[in-house]
Structure 1
Amino acid sequence: MAGMAAGAQAEVLPATASAQAAQAQLQAWRRDLHQHPELGGQETRTAAIVAGHLRALGLTPRTGIAGTGVAAVLKGGKPGPRLLIRADMDALPVAEETGLPFASTVRSSYRGQPVGVMHACGHDAHVAILMGVAQALVARKDTLPGEVMFVFQPSEEGPADPNEDFGAHRMLAEGLLNDFKPDAAFGLHVWAGLQVGQVGYKAGPLLASADEWLLTIDGKQTHGSRPWEGVDPITVGAQVLLGTQSMIARQINIAQTPVVLTAGQFNSGVRFNIIPDQANLVGTLRTFDPAVREDVIARFDRIASDYAHAAGATATLKVINQAPATINDVALAQRLRPALERAAGAANVVDMPLQTIAEDFSHFANTVPGFYFLVGATSEGIDPAKAPANHSPKFLLDEAALVNGMAAMLQVTTEFLEAGAH
């Protein structure tokens, strides 16, 4: 494996051998899914493939959880702990520009807009990897301690229907764990920011909490030439937005924990010479500490209200949490790092900095101790810092990541189960 000294002979672990043996299947599954991507809440074909595979393995999948979610439990032949392993299934409203022979040409509609559809984040790889992990664990079920729930989750990126909930929260709300109480939850993500062969790891906070905020400023309409006769919500909205940036820079201890507050939309008015009566701003807030998140939201609300009051307008802030921060259980992460090192090579396990992206795997990790890691996806010879990032229409997965991801997940899974056997 990458990182070994020239000529060194390494033991081929059972997890690695299983992953290498499944390479052709992993690639075939991934390419088929890549060519037929489905948006959040619409993963019917993907779910059918997953459920069919699980049935072929002799498992009894539950289907239709959170609309299209699939789950199945494997009972090992010996007593031991219970583990949940999750893969997300949905694609993004992105038109593919990779030029691959199996590139997606799918078109769909996303919240009223015509869009291309692409596995631009790598969830096709996640599904293939977990299908491979399930197959390998079933093959050794007689000697396997404990039980494993395989969870194939819809809508991690958010549902195509804005009235629906994100997938992890919805699966839990619909009783995914009513009859199965796991001792831990594992997940992974292929990552363009790492070289293929590397695995990214961090104990404690890893990925940010994601909030969508919506700010409505109500003013008073007037002619653009006579602003003193109205209340300009556009000016107030601009002042509030600048005020939030000053708040982050001057009121939040960013040496302790990063905070990002970004506006992605600022919509107001219909004509060049009319001051409208309302302005709407929409954006995202990213934090790593729940207490800091609450503090920032309270300050944001006060800034908006105070600027609006000073101008004679009103401000209404609504904050919707899409995912809490993904925080790896420290003891569990430290315990499993050697397993990652055995699977990938010690030199290839990278200590990750905080990442301001978010993941709704955090809902599982808030229910039980969680462990989430990143699998390098960028080919050797390409600088990961310059490679098209996840969510890019040019995101290009090195398929060696499929074998590496399966080997790493199998290794941490078997070591966790065997350590807890009784």
Structure 2
Amino acid sequence: MADRFANDPGTRIRQATEAIEPRLVEIRRDIHAHPELAFEETRTAGIVAAELARLGIPYRTGVGRTGVLGTIEGGRPGPTLAIRADMDALPIHEQTGLPFASTIAGKMHACGHDIHTATLLGVAEVLKGLAPQLAGRVVLVFQPAEEALGGAAAMIADGAVEGVDMALGFHNMPDMPVGRFGYCRGSTLAAADRFDLVVRGRSGHAAHPSDAIDPIVAAAFVSQAQTVVSREIDPLHPAVVTIGMFHGGSAPNIIPESVELRGTVRTLHGKARDTAEAALRRLAAGLEAMHRVRCDLRYNRGVPPLVNSDRVLDPAIASVRAQFGDVVEEGRPSMGAEDFAEFAERVPAFQLRIGSGAPGRNDHLHNAGYQPDERCIGLGVQALSRIALDILS
């Protein structure tokens, strides 16, 4: 009986994880106390490199500026699976009061990337021990600058997906109880684009508007932009246009020379994304024709939508169920953005949602009081290790 359980992959993964979980929590707390923003993750990358070296896993630093790539070769040939974790923190002043709270004012791991980094290090150790059973190769991707939505592209430019056949990502979810896992089929996170509209007129006295060209009429753009979503995009394709900045004028009796608006466009589908950009450009041109102003619209496309591939999702969810039982739930898409989408645009990919909600708490990501349940680290290690083992079996 003992031998049978020792050969069971679920039992082996669980036992291996339990043996290293205290160390992973220590690593997480160390990283949490020393947060680093996008492309500043030199200390965190150093911790990762030291752990990979301790495990005898070949690695490369400086990938995408501050990223780290590790490689585990299996005992037999087969496909290559990349597993990605992000490492950067946020410009938030922590208010948790934890003994391992951020030691750097104005910086905090409020999205759990410290959790992610520790989790992938645990996966590295478990899979290193299982390497003879793997048919293929695992690439460990420790990515910088997810919050700036530029780290994935930087690592890819440095060869992070060369030879990769599929990719696996993950994120802790405080709105899901620890011990639960989630997924979403198809488009799961939005494309995130930004625009900057400068409307130029001619300044003048408020008493003589006919002698001026009033750029404040650009306020019409704020409401007109909402008709892009309500009247031009398929109502079954979610889209959000938000104008978060509107600057112009210096006094109530002066018509200003110019005003500036800045906003974002979030879409889950490529067609909706194209429609939104074209419509906003048309609206800006309409302002020029109607109000005699000049409009300079700069539209910058950010990360694409994150689209989960059934080719990776289906076996991954089957593996999680095999490891834990019926603890998996199908969720809804989110209009948030994630640059793991850059990997998913190039190879079949899936992002697993890992419950991190602590009992009695109602935490949210990007919040100064955010406190994930650290048990999600070990559970994440088990889930991701089982997925990799099953896919590469």
TM tier relative to shorter chain: over 0.9
Equivalent in the alignment of 2:226: 245
Equivalent in the alignment of 1:229: 211
TM-score, normalisation: structure 2: 0.94
Quick one: which amino acid aligns to residue 144 of structure 2? P
CA contact (8 A) 2:73 2:136 kept: yes
Superposition map of 1:186-225 within 5 A: 186-225=168-207
CA contact (8 A) 1:61 1:73 kept: yes
CA contact (8 A) 2:86 2:143 kept: yes
Quick one: which amino acid aligns to residue 79 of structure 2? P
Distance 1:306 1:241 in 2: 13
* Residue 341 of structure 1, CA deviation: 1.6
Quick one: which amino acid aligns to residue 276 of structure 2? V
Distance 1:270 1:59 in 2: 60
* Residue 93 of structure 1, CA deviation: 0.5
Distance 2:350 2:248 in 1: 43
Distance 1:300 1:416 in 2: 44
Q: What is the SS of the residue equivalent to 2:345?
A: helix
Quick one: which amino acid aligns to residue 18 of structure 1? A
* Residue 18 of structure 1, CA deviation: 2.5
Quick one: which amino acid aligns to residue 232 of structure 2? Q
Distance 1:342 1:398 in 2: 23
* Residue 120 of structure 1, CA deviation: 0.5
* Residue 291 of structure 1, CA deviation: 1.5
* Residue 227 of structure 1, CA deviation: 2.5
* Residue 11 of structure 1, CA deviation: 9.7
Equivalent in the alignment of 2:387: 412
* Residue 63 of structure 1, CA deviation: 0.8
1:90 aligns with 2:88: yes
Superposition map of 1:134-145 within 5 A: 134-145=124-135
Equivalent in the alignment of 1:102: 100
CA contact (8 A) 1:130 1:150 kept: yes
CA contact (8 A) 2:363 2:372 kept: no
Distance 2:124 2:255 in 1: 60
Equivalent in the alignment of 1:292: 272
1:259-307 deviations in Å (ceiling 9; x for gaps): 0111121122233332222211112111111111001110111112212
Equivalent in the alignment of 2:116: 126
The alignment's C-alpha RMSD in Å is: 1.7
CA contact (8 A) 1:344 1:404 kept: no
CA contact (8 A) 1:198 1:344 kept: no
* Residue 133 of structure 1, CA deviation: 0.4
Distance 1:82 1:193 in 2: 32
Superposition map of 1:23-422 within 5 A: 23-107=21-105, 116-158=106-148, 166-177=150-161, 180-236=162-218, 238-254=219-235, 256-346=236-326, 348-382=327-361, 387-418=362-393
CA contact (8 A) 1:234 1:268 kept: yes
Distance 1:282 1:376 in 2: 34
Identical aligned residues as a percent: 38
Quick one: which amino acid aligns to residue 144 of structure 1? L
Distance 2:384 2:213 in 1: 58
Distance 1:257 1:228 in 2: 43
CA contact (8 A) 2:65 2:154 kept: no
Report which stretch shifted further, 200-209 or 243-252: 243-252
1:5-42 deviations in Å (ceiling 9; x for gaps): xxxxx995333333222220121011000000000010
* Residue 355 of structure 1, CA deviation: 0.6
1:369-397 deviations in Å (ceiling 9; x for gaps): 00101111111233xxxx23111111111
Q: What stretches of structure 1 of length at least 5 have no aligned partner?
A: 1-9, 108-115, 159-164
**Divergent runs of 4+, >4 A:** none
Equivalent in the alignment of 1:161: none
Distance 2:226 2:253 in 1: 29
Distance 1:23 1:49 in 2: 16
1:143-173 deviations in Å (ceiling 9; x for gaps): 2221111111111111xxxxxx711011112
Quick one: which amino acid aligns to residue 165 of structure 2? D
Q: What stretches of structure 2 of length at least 5 have no aligned partner?
A: 1-7
Quick one: which amino acid aligns to residue 376 of structure 1? G
Quick one: which amino acid aligns to residue 74 of structure 1? I
CA contact (8 A) 2:112 2:172 kept: yes
